[in-house]
């Protein structure tokens, strides 16, 4: 049996649907009781708990052969910091997995994870990787670039920016490259390694960097998304320094936006920095390691983006 932490998140939701379709059993760790139906509707077991609370995990992994750790945050909120979720949470889950006799540990990391990374997100992901490596349990680590699909936060925020006004603001040059991989292809990669938890639990330890078949700049992603939505607006590049200076006023701006019925997506200094850095690996990473060619971003978009009609303006970039 699989044990899935993060089963009600973006990737987790897609994974448990595919496990159910393959008639594979999983026990889902759920922090918010209101999200229990996401797992039970797929025919999965549910255990209430939180990886940041070690005692809540006690006994929850008993009888499971493969632990799947998908929990992660891209923005710190209150007590939920990168350190608490990525590092302490991983420590808790690994220790309970060892106690329960789990035979394989899967960890969802991120492309660019490194102990020397400037971004705390990437640095704490690397710290979590090291905890998994040092556990003594055979492991698999995925380091994907941008994963997109129904329910992904990146696309959700970008759609909100596109809908916000007569132009689409892009911090900085927008020339940093990403490597979008469709969530369905991510799941296909996972299932190729774990077709059955009882038969694949003793697989050797391994790490995979993976992304889609193309390197796209942030500008290209914005324009392809607008095309899929049926929106035609100019892209305006904002000086990065000016955007950073405005961050302290962002909460006020979001509140005012809500008053006038406009949803303004939040942004942090760390997220701005990540958008200025390439996040790519080999274009053939999936084909070489998993034996198939994943969808391009343009091919994947119609699978989860609904056209909204014509927008105003021109798709040409400005400054």
The per-residue pLDDT for range 198-220, each reduced to its tens digit, is 888 888 999 999 999 999 999 99
Q: Beta strand pairing status for 2-5 and 26-30? A: parallel
Specify the pTM: 0.89
> How high does pLDDT run on average in the chain?
89
What CA–CA distance (Å, rounded) separates 16 from 22?
10
Q: How far is CA 72 from CA 5, 7, 15, 125, 144, in A?
A: 10, 11, 15, 9, 13
Predicted confidence at residue 41, as pLDDT, reads 95
Predicted confidence at residue 272, as pLDDT, reads 73
Predicted confidence at residue 298, as pLDDT, reads 98
Buried (b) or exposed (e) across 296-313, using 16+ Cβ within 10 A? ebeebbeebbeeeeebeb
- List the chain residues with pLDDT less than 70: 242-269, 308-319
Predicted confidence at residue 199, as pLDDT, reads 82
Predicted confidence at residue 200, as pLDDT, reads 82
CB atoms within 10 A of CB 261: 6
Predicted confidence at residue 18, as pLDDT, reads 97
Predicted confidence at residue 197, as pLDDT, reads 87
Predicted confidence at residue 314, as pLDDT, reads 41
Q: What is the set of domains in the chain, with CATH numbers?
A: 2-144 (3.40.50.720), 153-176+213-278+296-318 (3.90.25)
């Amino acid at each position: 049996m699989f044990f899935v932490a993060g089963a009600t998140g973006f990737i987790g939701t897609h994974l448990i649907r595919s496990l159910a379709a393959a008639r594979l059993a999983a026990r889902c760790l759920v922090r918010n009781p209101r999200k229990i139906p996401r797992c039970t509707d797929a025919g999965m077991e549910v255990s209430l708990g939180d990886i940041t609370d070690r005692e809540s995990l006690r006994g929850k992994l008993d009888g499971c052969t493969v632990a799947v750790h998908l929990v992660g945050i891209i923005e710190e909120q209150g007590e939920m910091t990168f350190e608490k979720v990525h590092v302490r949470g991983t420590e808790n889950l690994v220790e309970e997995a060892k106690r329960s006799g789990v035979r394989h540990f899967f960890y969802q990391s991120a492309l660019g994870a490194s102990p020397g990374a400037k971004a705390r997100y990437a640095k704490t992901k690397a710290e979590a990787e090291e905890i998994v490596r040092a556990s003594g349990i055979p492991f698999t680590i995925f380091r994907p670039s941008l994963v997109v699909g129904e329910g992904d936060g990146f696309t959700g925020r970008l759609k909100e920016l596109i809908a916000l006004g007569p132009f689409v603001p892009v911090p900085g040059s927008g020339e940093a490259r990403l490597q979008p991989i469709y969530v369905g292809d991510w799941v296909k990669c996972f299932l190729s390694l774990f077709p059955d938890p009882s038969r694949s639990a003793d697989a050797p330890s391994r790490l995979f960097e993976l992304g889609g078949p193309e390197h796209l700049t942030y500008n290209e992603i914005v324009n392809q998304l607008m095309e899929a939505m049926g929106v035609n607006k100019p892209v305006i590049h904002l000086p990065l320094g000016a955007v950073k200076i405005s961050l302290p006023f962002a909460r006020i701006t979001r509140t005012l936006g809500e008053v006038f019925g406009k949803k303004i997506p939040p942004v942090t200094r760390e997220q701005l920095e990540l958008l200025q850095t390439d996040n790519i690996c080999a274009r053939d990473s999936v084909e070489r390691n998993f034996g198939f060619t994943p969808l391009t971003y343009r091919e994947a978009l119609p699978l989860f983006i609904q056209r909204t009609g014509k927008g105003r303006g021109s798709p040409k970039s400005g400054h």
